[in-house]
């Protein structure tokens, strides 16, 4: 395939297109009418579209915003596979194959976000991580007795 646009040169874009095709085949071959099939179709398409659109943005914050949406859509696809597996519509090997593709895609997107977003405190907004432990749970349960 001859590349005409910059986003077509990105490996993550190429892998996202492959996953979108793989997901489409899975959707077609999965029997039954389930909302999750439509969601998988939309989320897998969203990965591709947001990578392309983000790559076309000039400002780094805009680019990162679209890449972050693409990453979220990839994680959503993994959840869709979990739902299909839970409902016994796809087997473990199929889910593993799909998730292997998604892990690679999410990793590449995270790398791009890191590259364009920087790692400094002014480049991102985040909540401080809390430590949730068993001790807190037990203490809460004792209070509720």
Three-state secondary structure readout of 10-79: CHHHHHHHHHHHHHHHHHHHCCCCCHHHHHHHHHHHHHHHHHHHHHCCCCHHHHHHHHHHHHHHHHHHHH
pLDDT value of residue 121: 42
Q: Is residue 135 part of a domain?
A: no
pLDDT at 126 over 50: no
pLDDT for 43-64, tens place per residue?
A: 999 999 999 999 999 999 999 9
User: 27 in a domain, yes or no?
Assistant: yes
Q: Is residue 126 part of a domain?
A: no
Residue 11 inside a domain? The answer is yes
Q: Are 112 and 12 in contact (CB under 8 A)?
A: yes
- Residue 95 included in any domain: yes
Mean pLDDT calculated for residue range 131-141: 53
In a domain, 96, yes or no: yes
Structure tokens that stand for 26 in this block: 């899975």
Angle at the Cα of 25 (from 84 to 64), degrees rounded to 5?
A: 80
Q: What is the pLDDT of residues 72-88, one digit of tens each?
A: 999 999 999 999 999 99
How many domains is the chain partitioned into structurally?
1
CATH of the domain at 59: 1.20.1440.60
Q: What does the alpha-carbon distance between residue 27 and residue 23 come to, in Å, rounded to a whole number?
A: 6
pTM strictly above 0.75: yes
């Amino acid at each position: 395939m001859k590349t005409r646009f910059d986003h077509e040169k990105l490996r993550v874009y190429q892998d996202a297109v492959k996953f979108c095709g793989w997901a489409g085949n899975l959707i077609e071959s999965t029997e039954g009418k389930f909302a999750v099939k439509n969601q998988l179709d939309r989320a897998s398409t969203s990965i591709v579209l947001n990578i392309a659109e983000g790559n076309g943005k000039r400002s780094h914050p805009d680019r990162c915003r679209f890449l972050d949406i693409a990453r979220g859509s990839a994680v959503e696809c993994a959840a869709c596979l979990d739902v299909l597996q839970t409902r016994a519509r796809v087997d473990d090997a199929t889910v593993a194959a799909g998730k292997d593709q998604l892990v690679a895609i999410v990793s590449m997107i995270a790398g791009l976000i890191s590259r364009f977003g920087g790692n400094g405190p002014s480049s991102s907004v985040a909540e401080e991580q809390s430590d949730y432990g068993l001790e807190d749970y037990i203490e809460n349960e004792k209070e509720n007795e």
